Every structure is written in C-alpha cells, then in structure tokens.
Amino acid sequence: MYLAIAGNIGSGKSTLTALLAEAFGLRPVYEAVSENPYLEDFYRDMGAYAFHSQVFFLARRLRQHLLEVNGRTRVVQDRTVYEDAFVFAQHLYREGYLSERDWRTYLDLFHGVAPALRKPDLLLYLRASLPTLRARIEKRGRPFERAIPDRYLLGLNALYEELIAGWNLSPVQVVEADRLDFVEREEDRQALLETLRPWVKP
C-alpha cells in the first residue's frame, strides 16, 4: 500500500501523515522542508531563487521516492513529486518567476525520472480554503511562511484543483479540510480513519 497525501501549504499533510502511519502501520515519508537551503531566500525573492529551490525539492523528492517509496511495502507520503512539478513549479512558471528555459529544464529532469516512480494506490487530497491555510500556517509558526502572499496560496489552490481534475494515476479521496478538522477534533480524526480503513489493507 502506497498512500500519498496532497495539499497546499498548511493543509495538514504532515499531521495526517503521522496519524495514518500510526493508525495503519505505514512508514511515514515526510517532505524535506527544513533541509532546503534556498527556502527562506526563496520566500524573500521568488524570482531569484525559484529554480534553485524547486530543483532542490525535485532532487530530494526523487531520491526519497526511489529509496523510501519504491522499495517499501506499506508507506504514506507527505506531498508527492507530481505536486512539485505540476503545482509548485508550474505556478512559478505561470507567474513569471521561472523562465521558459528553466521551466523546460525542470520538466526534462522530471520526465526523465518519472517512469521509474511507483504510482500511489490512493491519493488523498486535502482541499482547504485560504482562511484555513492561513490559520494553520499561523499556528505552525514558521516566520517565512507567514510572509507568503495570499495570491501565491490562491494560485497554488487553483493548480491543485487542475491537478486533481486530471489525475489518472490512482483513485482519489478528497478530504474537505475546512469542514473536517482532523488536526483538532478527535471525532473528525476517527471519521476519516474509518473512511480510509477499507483502502488500507492489513
């Protein structure tokens, strides 16, 4: 079982990854946010550091996928490489922070390795509105995330909806994170676990 969790910054992916790993005996694979040496610089100057930051994330995610996802029987992953490419990098390209040349180079790297990647058995998409994202970002307390413009988060949300609408690699389960607060409410956590139980075989 390879369960992948998709969602915007602050949607609750890491919390849900830990919850599902414990509940179903899955190996958690987390996003390497704290390891990215370009991230704080990127949020200060997206144009100057967009390519550097995205290539770092792509390299780490591909390495992580090949070593920790492909070779594991039961795994849950916090954000996928597909989001890196078709949400985050594509948004930066559309907004002009990635040049045409850098975007094409990035896609060449992605498409060169993508065929070797294991596809999810189920994709969980955490759909969250801007107020929910803002509240969770504030609670998490990372200074560089608090400075993220609303326009950036809304642009990512729009691309997430595009990604999910065209997703054909696995079944998709949409979790309405505005309504279902598995971070704070025990009853919501249990309801979500019951929904997923048929998918996550022992």
CA gap 101, 57 in Å, rounded: 18
The torsion defined by the Cα of 149, 151, 152 and 156, in degrees rounded to 10, comes to 150
Using only C-alpha atoms, the chain has a radius of gyration, in whole angstroms, of: 16
Q: Are 149 and 100 contacting, i.e. CB atoms less than 8 angstroms apart?
A: no
Q: What are phi and psi of 95, to 5 degrees?
A: -85, -5
- Which active-site residues does the annotation give? 78
Instruction: Work out the angle at residue 38's Cα, subtended by the Cα atoms of residues 33 and 44, and round it to the nearest 5 degrees.
Output: 105
Contact assessment for residue 122 and residue 173, using Cβ atoms and an 8 Å cutoff: yes
